[in-house]
Structure 1
Amino acid sequence: FLHLSHLYHPLTYHLSPLSIPLDYLQTVNPRRYPSNPLVQQLWEALYGCSPSPSLSPSSPLMPPCSGKETLLEQHSAYMNTSSPRVAYNVYKAVYAIAHSLHNLLHCQAGAGPFHNRSCADSTNVHPWQLQHYLQEVAFYISGEEVNFDLKGDSIPYYDIINWQRGSGGNMEFINVGLFDGAKDSGKELVIQEEKIVWAGHQSKLVVSVCSASCAPGSRKAVRRGEPLCCFDCVPCDSGKISNQTDSIDCTECPEDYWSNADGTLCIPKVVEFLSHDAMGIALTVIAVVGACLTVFVLVVFLQHRTTPIVRVNNSELSFFILLSLTLCFLCALMFIGEPTSWSCMLRHTAFSITFSLCISCILGKTLVVLAAFTAARPGNNIMKWLGPKQQRVIIFSCTLVQVLICAAWLMAAPPYPSRNTQDQLSKIILECSVGSQLAFWCVLGYIGLLACLCFILAFLARKLPGNFNEAKFITFSMLIFCAVWISFIPAYVSSPGKYTVAVEIFAILASSFGLLFCLFAPKCYIILLKPEKNTKQHIMGNKK
């Protein structure tokens, strides 16, 4: 190395980073450099022996070297002198020291970097003083900038080396790229992929994995007892997604979102309610047809209200039943469409009150029929207690009870629209929550009580004499009514989503059609098709 006195003017010297001669490396041995610890460590690594056991306290168990060990060709890593990287680093280090000493020795008195702006003593330079200048040094060598940061690190510059086997079978180190920290962000790394030779002399990257990568929409499941690179790709469960390759776990979608078919994206859940789709339109048409048919029967009865078959069956109660049946058909329309606060309250109360009115009228008709035949017995004047006023009181009282139940229901816990996300996790079901379950089942129970009472009374009067005994038709109509609503309960509880509402509408329409046909179809048949039977003699059983 250069003597410090020669570094007064370091820029006048030019140290060339030449490659170290191979002949010189072959002459290196512990006998020539007995006090060099690097040679000691090199011999220990290459031959597993200690040239001077007394100088190698770190490896006391190594046997002593024979002294005849020489560097051979198989020590290619050490003998390779094709790359001057190490020598070039030494070259830059000497220049960095030279520039630092140059700046130190040319310090102007009173403008120094140390205490009281003093300079270092050129005859007694301390290491910390030289280090100060070393951290601030900056110079160029062959177009490359050399400087250091506060931590003493220089700008990183790395060659990317690819080990390749040459044509003669020897190992070659090919430069295929570099990393230059002095370049702009994103441009530091440069790789020449066409120069890279992979294992097996292949120009393309060899894929050496146990399992292929898991695509988005699935997650990795490690196989028990196998390496981590061996795994199965398991599709994400419904409601969870993974949008990256080789995801370890799937992410659950938010409450109002659901996974798409591929399991890669959370999409808004489908909002479902009984709208005016195919099913809604079909139920609407059936309800409107039922209401129109009921109005038609009402018109027929009005036109033939003076005929015996209409008068003998209490025309006023028949008109009340037809009007209430029309309302029953029309109230089914309120169950179709998006639930709102008003529609939820109106649909349940209107349904319960109209059906209570209808069954109350049928109950009054049943009592009149039963009383009419009982009054034919001598000394029985029960009909005076079932006149038109009493019939209206019975209808009003029975309906009032249902009105009071509905009023208490609306005041305590009325029905309200709700978003059901539990029954079907992939959908948001808009439905009307009944509010008070007790009130809901009390409403249905009261309608069932009236229907059962009608059925029992009509059943008792089914064998009473008469050519046109209406008790038979009331019995059959109540039997159908009760069968529909008894089957409605399990179907209502088990139906999912909008089909719950559809089941309720079907029960309303089925029971309404059952009452309409059972009570009025026989009368309309005689009025329209068999007018010869619409006589008092035929109805009383006297055909003469």
Structure 2
Amino acid sequence: MAPRDTLCITQYISPTHFTSSQLEALNSTGLLRPPLAAPTCQCNPMSTPVSAATLDNCVFLGEEEKNNLYEDGDVVIGGLFPLHYSPVVSFPTYKTKPAPIIYKYFIPRALRWVQTMVFAIKEINQRSDLLPQLKLGFHIRDSCDDIPVSLRALLVLANGQPERSTTESLNRAEGVERNISDSTLGCDAVHRAVSHVIIGDAASGVSMALLRSLGSFHIPLVSYFASCSCLSNQREFPTFMRTMPSDAFQIRALAQLVSYFGWTWVGVIGVDSDYARFAIQLFLQESVKYGVCAAYTHLYPVTLGQQALDELLDVIQMASSKVIINFASESEMQGILREIRKRNIKGLQWIASEAWATAKALWEKFADLLMGTLGFAIRRADVIPGLKQHLLGLRPPYIHKSAFLAELWEETFNCRLNGSVNSHYHGTGNYLDREPCKGTENLNDVYSAYSDVTQLRVSYNVYKAVYLVAHALEDMSNCKVGMGPFLNDTCADPKNFKPWQLIYYMKRANFSALGEIINFDQNGDPIAYYDLVNWQRKPDGSLNLVKVGFYDASSPAGQSLIINDSVIQWPIGKQALRSVCSDSCPPGSRIARRKGEPMCCFDCVPCAEGEVSNNTDSLECSRCSEDTWPNKARDLCIPKVTEYLSYHELTGILLCGVSVLGACISLSIIGMFLTYKDTPLVRANNMELSFLLLMFLAVCFLVGLLFIGEPSDWFCYLRYPAFGISFALCISCLLAKTAVVLMAFRSTLPGSTVMKWFGPNQQRASVLLGTAVQVIICLIWLLTSPPHANNNTNYHRATIIIECVTGSEVGFWCVLGYIGILACMCFLMAFLARKLPDNFNEAKFITFSMLIFFVVWITFIPVYVSTAGKYTVAVHIFAILASANGLLFCIFAPKCYIIIFKPEKNNKKTLMQR
């Protein structure tokens, strides 16, 4: 399988083969040597001794070669898995040889991923319907979740075995012709086939480094756990694919999750890596759509020292938010939780990214701190048939072949295998003091994350990644000669293809795995689906990852996130914590942003007059229409109250009663006068004018009724002219009566002919003339700018005052002014006639009535101007009734008194007495 142009790291690697950026990455792996570096090889102690100079140039990898799993095949699929993590930080001084990197933790879960890959490949090899003419092999190495180690492992996978012997390679490197055999040199090259496709790595940052270093070789990299959205950039990473959804989808799910529970004030932290940096950046952008703000964002280093932990915990403690989203892996979470327990910080609601949403190992030590955690986990396979038997089928004879398996066995059973190839030890005490393994140990008897198949999520991604490669090879095998996709319609040979030919088929793969349809978008990303899991405690104290919802990116907008609140268990109490910067603004108020603070920090301001808001957290209040007004809560526009002087309210009833009573009294007096029309008292002082005056007074009383009730245009047309004309008639009658009395006593000289101008006809004419002027004024008013009904909202904005507006203020005041002129003339004449020698001088009573008339209407003017609405109308009616009653009682009450109570005085003799 190794092509002639394969880069072989087991030989001398010339720096001229690489660009400057690739040299920098390779240099970090320790693979580049000085120009006379010898090949990487495994030394055979039984071979012929070699010189010291030659041995100095030989890198011994015997132990390392056991830290891998290899099986040959027609196509060997490479695999990179983080079986160890958390390197102990050392700071080389470059004065001494750098110490080897020491890893503190072994990840049994990652070994399950490894075994899933092995299982999937063996399962495919046993199938007759998929790649029947092709055998798949595997070459799996430990990436240690570390870029230099991962890059070194990738180079080994991509190069495979050397084409020439180590001796020949060394001679070519030195430029010297030597005729020494391999046996003479004492080194045997390790035989490995080239891997044209790599499944890995788990971390986004590591995957990016691998792609940038070997991208020019077009080797496909299929990640099962790298989720950074940055990897979707096909221009930068054209050979990258993954069975893990992009973080872009997870971020949308997280933003909707915190918004669903009303958490608008959340802390966002993450490990200082490409994965967390891109995730936090996306979250800050996406959360704005849902009104969610970050109380703080904090990136902490991969290696958490005490200073970094103190900085992080100080931020968490000082913030008011108790909801924390953490973009990190299981390893970083352990250090954070350890420090949180040390400081006794409680009541935090953790939101887990998919990187640690199902990390059960955290529960064993920090169950009390992680109770109620919510997180999005990638799609789970309920079962992968046959996988559990494969995982539990390890036996000591097979375990000795791999340091990975030996380490798992020794860690799980706390024993030591005879002849163990395991070079890592993570327990306490002396490794050599361990009891030897008995050989009867069984993985069925103990719990291990390695054999736990209840949460097959990443394992399922690995399984799908293997099948992706297999189906791409199947499609390549089905290519018909002369109809291929490559140059000149050629096909690729499934047993001898170029990496770029395989990626062509992988990009177009569409297949089914365990009943799920697997396909990819243009960026090489699968369709996103997440389970929302809640960390709950089982009765035995172990972790129960309860599915409480899901996020399906293929669902319609608004239906992608489904949550079952009733089954969620919270860290404290029976409901979700409150985590807001400012409480929600209730309906009837709006949000007022605080200057210089995040959008989630605001004050609530009541809506202005005439405005409402009927939603919580309204940004603006809306103005009500002209005929509506806010209710007291200012959350609803209700019809405005219409106001006018109604017959149904107390004031209207009283005024209506007074009006009718006044008219009835006037008509009663007319009836009385008709009864006693032949008596001297009735006949005196011009009986005809008295009857006319009483009739017009009754009309004046009834005019008041036109001012009560809902105004309309026709009522307004009648109201003011009727008022002006009726009072003009009354005052004109009084003016005529007073003039007759005055002239009668002034024309006593013999031969005077003055009284001929004040006869009955002249009296009637004067009344009509005095009234005609008022009629003309009213006609001009009605024709130019008549009164009309109007809805007035200027005085009380919450009330519609239905009123009659005068139309022309000049017309109104002309009507009122003319009445005043008549009243002044009447008063003047009555005042001059007040002392005339008459036993019953009516001029006195007319004078008093005019005084009352003036007082009423002079008082009316300022009150009328200063009031509004129905009170203006009430004042107007009161003035009409008061002045009419003043005329009625001042003039006719004395006469009625004599007629009823002093009939003996109702004779000519009494009236003629001086």
TM-score bracket for this pair, using the shorter chain length: 0.7 to 0.9
Query: Structure 1: how far apart are the matches of 2:843 and 2:599?
Result: 82
Q: Are residue 334 (structure 1) and residue 502 (structure 2) matched? A: no
**Cα displacement (A) at 1:203:** 5.0
Q: Tell me if structure 1 keeps the 8 A contact 2:548–2:567.
A: no
Q: How does 1:164-243 map to 2 (within 5 A)?
A: 174=545, 176-177=547-548, 179-181=550-552, 189-191=561-563, 193=565, 198=570, 202-209=573-580, 211-221=582-592, 232-243=603-614
**Cα displacement (A) at 1:481:** 0.9
Task: Show the counterpart of 1:484.
Answer: 856
Gaps of 5+ in 1: 16-20, 49-70
Q: Are residue 293 (structure 1) and residue 461 (structure 2) matched? A: no
Summarize the Cα distance change of 1:243–1:368 in structure 2 as closer, same or farther, 3 Å threshold.
same
Q: Tell me if structure 2 keeps the 8 A contact 1:455–1:474.
A: yes
**Cα displacement (A) at 1:360:** 0.6
Summarize the Cα distance change of 1:180–1:252 in structure 2 as closer, same or farther, 3 Å threshold.
closer
Summarize the Cα distance change of 1:225–1:466 in structure 2 as closer, same or farther, 3 Å threshold.
farther
Amino acid at match of 2:206: L
Summarize the Cα distance change of 1:356–1:91 in structure 2 as closer, same or farther, 3 Å threshold.
same
Task: Show the counterpart of 1:445.
Answer: 817
Task: Show the counterpart of 1:246.
Answer: 617
Q: Tell me if structure 1 keeps the 8 A contact 2:528–2:554.
A: no
Task: Show the counterpart of 1:515.
Answer: 887
Q: Are residue 100 (structure 1) and residue 472 (structure 2) matched? A: yes
Task: Show the counterpart of 1:352.
Answer: 724
Corresponding residue SS for 1:271: strand
**Cα displacement (A) at 1:93:** 2.7
**Cα displacement (A) at 1:410:** 1.1
Summarize the Cα distance change of 1:295–1:4 in structure 2 as closer, same or farther, 3 Å threshold.
farther
Gaps of 5+ in 2: 1-69, 78-120, 131-139, 155-204, 211-270, 274-300, 305-330, 337-354, 362-448
Summarize the Cα distance change of 1:528–1:128 in structure 2 as closer, same or farther, 3 Å threshold.
farther
Q: Tell me if structure 2 keeps the 8 A contact 1:138–1:146.
A: yes
Q: Tell me if structure 1 keeps the 8 A contact 2:588–2:614.
A: yes
Q: 2:206 aligns with which of 23, 38, 42?
A: 38
Q: What fraction of aligned residue pairs are identical, expressed as a percent?
A: 50
Task: Show the counterpart of 1:423.
Answer: 795
Q: TM-score of the superposition, structure 2-length normalised? A: 0.50
Query: Structure 2: how far apart are the matches of 1:373 and 1:399?
Result: 26
1:228-264 deviation digits (Å, cap 9, x = unpaired): 6665544434432222223344322111111122222
Corresponding residue SS for 2:468: helix
- Larger displacement relative to structure 2 (525-534 or 173-182): 173-182
Q: Tell me if structure 2 keeps the 8 A contact 1:10–1:98.
A: no
Query: Structure 1: how far apart are the matches of 2:617 and 2:850?
Result: 65
Q: 2:768 aligns with which of 365, 381, 396?
A: 396
Task: Show the counterpart of 2:875.
Answer: 503
Task: Show the counterpart of 1:256.
Answer: 627
Corresponding residue SS for 1:158: strand
Summarize the Cα distance change of 1:336–1:146 in structure 2 as closer, same or farther, 3 Å threshold.
same
Task: Show the counterpart of 2:178.
Answer: none
Query: Structure 2: how far apart are the matches of 1:73 and 1:454?
Result: 105
Summarize the Cα distance change of 1:31–1:24 in structure 2 as closer, same or farther, 3 Å threshold.
closer
Task: Show the counterpart of 2:679.
Answer: 307
Amino acid at match of 1:205: A
Corresponding residue SS for 1:429: strand
Q: 2:842 aligns with which of 457, 470, 492?
A: 470
Query: Structure 2: how far apart are the matches of 1:235 and 1:522?
Result: 65
**Cα displacement (A) at 1:524:** 0.9
Query: Structure 1: how far apart are the matches of 2:629 and 2:332?
Result: 69
Query: Structure 2: how far apart are the matches of 1:297 and 1:115?
Result: 125
Corresponding residue SS for 1:107: coil
Corresponding residue SS for 1:414: coil
Task: Show the counterpart of 1:58.
Answer: none
**Cα displacement (A) at 1:107:** 3.4
Query: Structure 2: how far apart are the matches of 1:128 and 1:487?
Result: 105
1:295-314 deviation digits (Å, cap 9, x = unpaired): 01111112222222222210
Q: Tell me if structure 1 keeps the 8 A contact 2:612–2:634.
A: yes
Summarize the Cα distance change of 1:453–1:247 in structure 2 as closer, same or farther, 3 Å threshold.
same
What is the count of residue pairs matched by the alignment? 512
**Cα displacement (A) at 1:90:** 3.9
**Cα displacement (A) at 1:517:** 0.4
Query: Structure 1: how far apart are the matches of 2:561 and 2:835?
Result: 104
Query: Structure 2: how far apart are the matches of 1:182 and 1:508?
Result: 79
**Cα displacement (A) at 1:212:** 3.8
Q: Tell me if structure 2 keeps the 8 A contact 1:216–1:263.
A: yes
**Cα displacement (A) at 1:293:** 0.6
Amino acid at match of 1:258: W
Task: Show the counterpart of 2:641.
Answer: 270
Q: Tell me if structure 2 keeps the 8 A contact 1:219–1:233.
A: yes
Query: Structure 2: how far apart are the matches of 1:419 and 1:126?
Result: 87
**Cα displacement (A) at 1:432:** 1.4
Query: Structure 1: how far apart are the matches of 2:333 and 2:887?
Result: 110
**Cα displacement (A) at 1:380:** 4.3
Q: 1:317 aligns with which of 666, 685, 689?
A: 689
